[in-house]
Amino acid sequence: MKKFVNDPANFVPEFMTGVLAANAGLLDGNLEFQMVKRKDRPSPNHVSIVQGSGSGHEPAHICAVGPGMLSAACQGPVFAAPPVDACYETIKAVATDAGVLVLVNNYQGDRMAWDMACEMAEAEGIKLKQFIINDDVAVQDSTWTVGRRGVAGNFFVMKACGAAAEAGADLDTVYAVAEKVNNNVRTMGVGLTSCIPPAKGDAIFDIGDDEMEVGVGIHGEPGRSREKIRAADSITQTLFDAVQSDLPYNSGDRVALMINGLGGTPPAELYVVYAKAAQLAADAGLVIARNYVGEYCTALDMVGCSLTMLKLDAELEGLLAAPAECAVRVF
Amino acid sequence: MKKFVNDPANFVPEFMTGVLAANAGLLDGNLEFQMVKRKDRPSPNHVSIVQGSGSGHEPAHICAVGPGMLSAACQGPVFAAPPVDACYETIKAVATDAGVLVLVNNYQGDRMAWDMACEMAEAEGIKLKQFIINDDVAVQDSTWTVGRRGVAGNFFVMKACGAAAEAGADLDTVYAVAEKVNNNVRTMGVGLTSCIPPAKGDAIFDIGDDEMEVGVGIHGEPGRSREKIRAADSITQTLFDAVQSDLPYNSGDRVALMINGLGGTPPAELYVVYAKAAQLAADAGLVIARNYVGEYCTALDMVGCSLTMLKLDAELEGLLAAPAECAVRVF
Amino acid sequence: MSTLTIAQIEEALDVTCDTVIRNEKYFSDLDGLAGDGDFGTSLATGFKVIKADLPGIDKSAIGAMLLKISMICSKHVGGSSGPIWGTGFMRAGMVSKGLTEIGHQQLTDMVGSALEGIMARGGAVRGDKTLLDALIPIHEKLQEMDGSDLGVVLAAVAQVADQAIDETRGLIAHRGRASQVGARSANTPDPGIVGIATILCDWCKHYGVDYTPQAAELNH
Amino acid sequence: MSTLTIAQIEEALDVTCDTVIRNEKYFSDLDGLAGDGDFGTSLATGFKVIKADLPGIDKSAIGAMLLKISMICSKHVGGSSGPIWGTGFMRAGMVSKGLTEIGHQQLTDMVGSALEGIMARGGAVRGDKTLLDALIPIHEKLQEMDGSDLGVVLAAVAQVADQAIDETRGLIAHRGRASQVGARSANTPDPGIVGIATILCDWCKHYGVDYTPQAAELNH
Ligand SMILES: Nc1ncnc2c1ncn2[C@@H]1O[C@H](COP(=O)(O)OP(=O)(O)O)[C@@H](O)[C@H]1O
Ligand SMILES: Nc1ncnc2c1ncn2[C@@H]1O[C@H](COP(=O)(O)OP(=O)(O)O)[C@@H](O)[C@H]1O
Ligand SMILES: [Mg+2]
Ligand SMILES: [Mg+2]
Ligand SMILES: [Mg+2]
Ligand SMILES: [Mg+2]
């Protein structure tokens, strides 16, 4: 296994220890509940924002905690929803009179865990609202599945809500921001390899040397189709078309465009994809007001990327531009 | 080949197009010479700083251009030094009366190209100094090789010199900063897989499923030894010991500690390594004044990481803390 | 009609812990066929804690004990199984609040309450290929029987769960991770159903009740 | 004693372009044995431009033409080969500045000047297993000869380069990327030496000079 791990059973607490050690000024941690929080939250005048999911998607979510981003986050085992108690303790750790917005990516396990935690917290009188993120266009909605998955678009929900909360917006307003972002953001990914969970030690799905999974999920779930690998421009076109055709992105619209690496793809290749995506957006008359190229929501060490596009209005553009800080730093 | 590429011959201009498109407000580009520069340089009152090397190490070097970092950079083909003319044009593009500091990682090809370019530029009356970076402890110095390689420690040279130049220091002072950083920074890496150059299409060296190359170079050059893969903590200990024993890092010293991903290792694993490295530093009585966990100097898609430690004094700590900006952004 | 005491339920829970812990890898492997391969680990992580805590747990009433079990699931079981098993134990505990022994009707009500809670929690219905496809027919079978002989009841519900494995094998999962592979989940057993059936068959063995498992997964 | 005109040198350069372009993959493969596998591509990238630009290049003098070739190397050849070949052409051009034809002595001086420049540029000496291990004995051979018959001279230097391949094969590289693999570079040919020898053997073929290459890499 080509990985930096000790006992796979300790993988989550160990990398959390690293995150906490590297951000001692910013974050408090509670390893009993795989939880981190901003040192300066809760604050009586600020809505708190929390999210948590399975591990393996770093920087989502514990590295997304900080001023202008999440107030607290917790992690489950790799690719498994956090235990209910971890969710509950995370809410409690930043509960405030201004209320808590609980962001949940749309997966059965995450939803059930956060539902229970929210019920427990509400039973104790904690004021909160829950919001479900589902930006992945790969999986079509249907009456008998849990619906579209929440993937990298989730970054924009955290960023915009984080900025609104930081500015003192109330719970209903921050919730409305989440709704607006989710209504206007779409993502699709592609996986060129499977990822390898540390505890399993090998690939979670088989894929040929010349194959890719179009629409792959961030846990390696199958997407729309298994296809032969194509040139970067052609793959980018597929991702862009899937995203663009899912919403009425109109000529003249201002957008934020993200190319998100899934963990095993290096920076130069993400920029090859960005170059083509930016050209396609320009061809469609879209104005790229902000762009993001890097790792925002990974699938362990999967080679692949996703393309996310968020339609902006003045409010969202302002929220994305607001300063923020989290465990991911360059300098 | 599990990569986002079109024609491999166009890989470098294509990813540069992406970088330029994503940073239109910050950077000007000249694809004829695979070069990018700060829009606001040259400035008559500021020393310019340039560097350039083979491609495949992104964000080094074109994504390291910006306020408080490089003034300009150029890229060669993947893993090959830039053509002499590209180096020359890069110097010329930011030449200023305050002078140009040319940073060169210690590789034969890079040194020869920059030597020629500097001779050409000096012949035209451009004021400059050249500085060679060689922080890799894996390769021992020797009379009949070109000596130690320049690797991720290079980031600290760029950052500190960039901050000094931004503050208006003169060429000799900025050169002295480069010297001080290089004298106090040491790095060693480990590769768990080979990387795959786009033009070659397969691995540049063979390595067993259970093997790692300790001291690997950022072009896949062999290091100190080929060993069986061990637990993350044990690998980290090896890297830390090699780095720490190469300089007198004394109890009480303040240091900057970097865990640099080589391209194919995801964030969570880098934090597992950081957790152990931070503990080893603390055990040695070192004070980690600043830390860096992420991709700073990659080797294409190699799975692996390097550990860099820089001994700080008040001057260097101030320079590292100064604000800076480059193509690598989170928000 | 025979009754079950707290001590007897504790014993059954302890046997359950052994079953889950012993099958950690096997249950995960089954989940790997169409799901994400974590069912065994998730469940075993929690039941290792239950096994350790059981002797010292509050046993003033059956409900109190089950609520504590539920809380351990909430704290230590990740993935969907945390809320599902946590909800199940909590709902069974609510129905047995204050009781120190239960009869057949109360046992039946506890199972019914648990499965209602799980349905409300995860939105699954019969035929979605989840452990509800074992729990619902078990509940029906309990309603049909009078409970005069505990061994007979146990063999009957074990058989119901056993049959559920093969009856649902051909279905396409509509809930949980396995639902995301679409048709690829057909012809794989649901690990949750196998889990329930394995526990019941191990109870049969432990209590000397004669029952011969049919499904391949119970004879692996 | 016979002389070489600008036109003749242009023709030899054009043949050189064909050789380098045709061997792009082979030269890179050789570099891949102990180096980084880019020698063929780096060189061919430049010689494709030279091939295209040659007809229109300044041919007022041999030196002017070679300086232009040097500049193309500087612009289009990455890696160590850019500075090495660029320096070589520049230094040869400096010695032939203003000349429209050259004799044997001038040819010898051009090679001598080129190899001195390359030694100064990269710090390599004889025995470091670089193309200098071909250029230095070629220069010595030229010094020994009188150049009365160009064909005889060409066959002689081709043989020197050919022999250099096998004479250096066992050495450990001390310069360039191949030096970083230490002992692993022994028993591989140096691609730069093979490149020089291949060019000279192709000149023999082109000009009808009888020479039978010995090294395996020249008969691949
Ligand atoms: N919505 C649901 N309701 C009831 N049971 C469910 C539901 N979703 C999944 N299950 C059961 O849980 C089992 C999978 O558990 P686990 O692997 O822990 O969850 P996850 O799908 O989050 O990885 C399935 O085999 C199924 O029996
Ligand atoms: N310092 C040097 N002086 C002379 N020739 C050299 C030197 N270093 C390398 N060479 C020659 O260049 C060849 C390799 O060229 P190339 O692959 O382009 O360079 P790089 O080592 O940068 O990849 C070697 O085979 C050798 O003949
Ligand atoms: Mg799971
Ligand atoms: Mg090279
Ligand atoms: Mg599962
Ligand atoms: Mg080479």
- Name the more confident of B143 and B19: B19
User: Smallest Cα–Cα separation from A146: which of C185, C176, C81?
Assistant: C176
Q: How far apart are CA A213 and CA A194, in angstroms?
A: 9
Separation of alpha carbons D2 and D150, rounded Å: 7
Percent of all residues in chain A with a pLDDT value above 90, rounded to a whole number: 93
When the pLDDT of each residue in chain C is averaged and rounded to a whole number, the result is 94
Asked whether residue B133 is domain-assigned, the answer is: yes
Average pLDDT for chain A:
96
Query: DSSP secondary-structure letter at D184?
Result: G
Separation between Cα atoms, residue D112 and residue B328, nearest integer Å: 48
B and C in touch (3+ CB pairs within 8 angstroms): no
Are B115 and B151 contained in the same domain?
yes
Q: Residue A145: its pLDDT value, please? A: 65
- Kindly state whether residues A28 and A62 are assigned to the same domain: yes
Domain range holding B117?
A: 8-183
For the cut 90, the answer to whether the pLDDT of residue D32 exceeds it is no
- Residues, chain A: 331
Strand stretches in B56-115, DSSP E? 72-78, 100-105
In a domain, B2, yes or no: no
Q: Are residues B199 and B276 in the same domain?
A: yes
Q: How far apart are CA A292 and CA A133, in angstroms?
A: 19
Reference D181, options B6, B222, B237, A206; nearest CA is B222
Residues B162, B208 within the same domain: no
Closest to B246 in 3D by CA, of B182, B317, B203, B316: B182
Question: What burial class does residue A322 get, using C-beta atoms within 10 Å of its C-beta: 0-12 exposed, 13-18 middle, 19+ buried?
Answer: middle
Which of these ranges, A23-32, B224-233, C167-176, D10-19, has the smallest mean pLDDT?
A: C167-176
Report the alpha-carbon distance of residue D123 to residue A106 in Å, rounded: 62
Window A:80-139, CB contacts with B under 8 Å? none
Residue D115 has pLDDT above 80, yes or no: yes
**Which of these three, A129, A157, A183, is where a domain ends?**
A183
Q: Phi, psi (5° rounding) for residue C37?
A: 75, 25
Q: What is the CATH number of the domain that holds A168?
A: 3.40.50.10440
- Of C12, C95, C5, C85, the C-alpha closest to C42 is C85
Q: Could you confirm whether B46 is annotated as catalytic?
A: no
Q: Is residue B319 part of a domain?
A: no
Q: Would you say residue C80 has pLDDT above 70?
A: yes
Token pair listed for A261: 């690496």
- Residue A110: pLDDT band (50, 70, 90) is very high
Burial C3-22 (b: 16+ CB within 10 A, else e): ebebebbbbbbbbbbebbbe
Whether B128 and B240 share a structural domain: no
What pLDDT does residue A143 have? 54
The active-site residue, picked from A46, A57, A111, A311, is: A57
Comparing CA positions, the residue from B39, B34, B36, B80 lying closest to residue B57 is B80
Same-domain pairing of A19 and A68: yes
Q: With cut-offs at 50, 70 and 90, classify the pLDDT of residue C177.
A: confident
B247, B280 Cβ separation under 8 angstroms:
no
Beta strands at B185-191 and B304-311: parallel, antiparallel or unpaired: antiparallel
Structural domains in chain A (count): 2
Indicate if B61 and B179 belong to the same structural domain: yes
Q: Binning pLDDT at 50, 70 and 90, where does residue C34 land?
A: confident
**pLDDT over 80 (residue A293):** yes
Residues ≥6 apart with Cβ < 8 Å to A208: none
Contact A219 C83 (CB under 8 A): no
Residues A151 and A294 occupy one common structural domain: no
For ligand 2, atom 10, name the residue with the nearest CA: D130
Regarding whether B235 and B118 lie in a shared domain, the answer is: no
D59 lines ligand 2 (CB under 6 A): no
**A176 pLDDT above the threshold of 60:** yes
Alpha carbon of A151 to ligand 3 centroid (Å): 16
- Angle between helices D6-22 and D191-206 in degrees, nearest 10: 120
**Residue of D26, D38, D80, D119 to mutate, ligand 2, most atoms within 8 A of C-beta:** D80
B236 neighbors B277 (Cβ within 8 angstroms): yes
* pLDDT tens-place string over residues D98-112: 999 999 999 999 999
**Structure-block tokens of residue A17:** 């220890």
Identify the pLDDT of residue A200.
82
Q: Of the ranges A139-143, A155-159, A176-180, B246-250, which one carries the lowest mean pLDDT score?
A: A139-143
Measure A327 CA to nearest chain C CA, in Å. Answer: 24
pLDDT for residue D6 is more than 60: yes
List of residues 6+ apart from A129 with CB closer than 8 A: A99, A100, A101, A102, A171, A172, A175
Query: Confidence class of residue A34 from pLDDT cuts 50, 70 and 90?
Result: very high
3-class DSSP state of C5:
strand
- List chain D residues with CB under 8 Å of B54: 78-79
- Per 3-state DSSP, chain D is made up of helix, strand and coil in percentages (nearest 5) of 70, 0, 30
Q: Based on the domain organization, do B228 and B300 belong to the same domain?
A: yes
Cis peptide before A59 (omega within 30 of 0): yes
Q: Is residue A308 part of a domain?
A: yes
Question: φ and ψ at B113, to 5 degrees?
Answer: -65, -45
Residue A318 domain-assigned (yes or no): no
B111 and B216 share one domain: no
- For the cut 90, the answer to whether the pLDDT of residue A36 exceeds it is yes
CA of B215 to the centre of ligand 6 (A): 20
Residue C32 banded pLDDT, cuts 50, 70, 90: confident
| DSSP 8-state code for residue B75 | E
Residues with CB under 5 A from ligand 5 (ion): C 31, 35-36, 38-39
> Is it the case that residue A272 has pLDDT exceeding 80?
yes
Task: Exactly one of B37, B57, B180, B311 is catalytic; name it.
Answer: B57
Helix (H) or strand (E) holding A223: none
Both B74 and B147 in a single domain?
yes
Phi-psi region of D98 (alpha: psi -120 to 50; beta: other; left: phi over 0): left
Q: How far apart are CA A83 and CA A33, in angstroms?
A: 8
Residue A323 lies in a domain: no
> What mean pLDDT comes out for the span D150-175?
94
CB < 8 Å from A in window 16-35 of B:
16-19, 21-22
Q: How far is CA A45 from CA A41, A163, A171, in A?
A: 10, 14, 11
Sign (positive or negative) of CA dihedral A316, A321, A324, A325: positive
Ramachandran angles phi, psi of A56, nearest 5°: 105, 5
A208 sits in which H/E element = none
CATH 1.25.40.340 fits C4-218, yes or no: yes
Do D and A touch, 3+ Cβ pairs within 8 Å? The answer is no
CATH number, domain of B254, equals 3.30.1180.20
CB B108 less than 6 A from any atom of ligand 2 = yes
Q: What is the band of B146 on the pLDDT scale with cuts at 50, 70, 90? A: confident
CA-CA distance, B158 to D90, in Å (whole number)? 33
pLDDT band for D1, please (50, 70, 90 cuts): low
In chain D, where the domains are located:
4-218
Element (DSSP H or E) covering residue B187: strand B185-191
Q: Does C127 touch chain A (CB under 8 A)?
A: no
Q: Which residues contact B328 (CB under 8 A, 6 or more apart)?
A: A267, A294, A330, B59, B63, B64
CB C170 within 8 A of CB C133: no
In angstroms, rounded to a whole number, what is the distance separating the alpha carbons of residues C137 and A292? 52
3-state secondary structure of B305: strand
Q: Could you give the CA distance from residue A288 to residue A305 in angstroms, rounded to a whole number? A: 19
Give the Cα separation of B258 and B281 in Å (integer): 12
Give residue B141's pLDDT band: very low, low, confident or very high (50, 70, 90): low
Distance D86 CA to ligand 1 centre (A): 67
**Does the Cβ of D86 fall within 6 Å of ligand 2?**
no
User: Strand order in B27-30's β-sheet?
Assistant: B27-30, B35-38, B72-78, B48-55, B100-105, B128-133
Q: Is position A57 annotated as part of the catalytic site?
A: yes
**CB burial of residue D101 (10 Å; 0-12, 13-18, 19+):** middle
Cβ proximity of D50 and D70 under 8 Å: no
In the block, tokens 């010329």 appear at: B92
Pairing label, strands A287-294, A254-261: parallel
Lowest mean pLDDT among A221-225, C123-127, D13-17, D32-36: D32-36
Under 8 Å CB pairs connecting chains A and C tally to 102
The answer to whether the CB atoms of B109 and D41 lie below 8 A apart is: no
- Model pTM? 0.94
pLDDT band at D185 (very low <50, low <70, confident <90, very high): confident
Helices C81-95 and C104-122 sit at what angle, rounded to 10 degrees? Answer: 140
By C-alpha distance, which of A56, A123, A53, A65 is closest to A94?
A: A65
